[in-house]
Structure 1
């Protein structure tokens, strides 16, 4: 249960940094935005790959 609290605390801290409420080095903020964008692109690529695999599997039935 405490692990969930730690994860929520980490997410809140990251959102504060990305939103500009916490003063940090601008390089860190830009790097975090790039990491978030890369994670979104990776997620979209994974979904597209899974849809492709599903299409392939359904056509072989």
Structure 2
């Protein structure tokens, strides 16, 4: 068993962008785990309809 692991997980989320309004997209989280417990989110990104990879900083989480 490894002590520190890096894992990716893709979740479907509702996001809000000023240009497009509400959008439902797949967001991929890259997290660091210690003994199986998540410690820190290293990076999160989303893939657009055209296959382009974008950072999640420019769109807000829609609740």
**TM-score scaled by length of structure 2:** 0.17
Structure ranking higher on relative contact order (CA contacts 8 Å, 6+ apart):
2
Specify which structure has the higher proportion of helix. 1
